[in-house]
Amino acid sequence: MLILIIVVIMMILASILSKKTFMDREKNSPFECGFDPKSSTRLPFSIQFFLIAVIFLIFDVEITLLIPLILIIKYSNLMNYLIITFFFLFILLIGLYHEWNQGALNWAY
């Protein structure tokens, strides 16, 4: 029992003595998507950050929809596969053109 108590005390002392961190404002505050949580809450939201997040989500969904098409190429009829793939890519390109035409991809706000 005495050995156990000594080992526990030594481990606690080693943990306290080996800390190489220092406390500052950035390390003590939570990370909130680039916002400073200790400043005013009425700051405007960054449109560039929002556009990057939306574009990432769009490409992420596109990739998850395109991977099954790649995996089933050897099990499907080639003509049906090409029609479905081109139709899907055509819909994506029309959506991209529509966003571009509406100014959703414009960085200068």
Q: Where are the domains of the chain?
A: 45-103
Identify the pLDDT of residue 90: 92
The whole-angstrom separation of Cα 108 and Cα 53 is: 17
Amino acid at 109: Y
Identify the pLDDT of residue 52: 79
Identify the pLDDT of residue 2: 92
Stated pTM of the model? 0.48
Task: Tell me the sheet residues that pair with 32.
Answer: 35
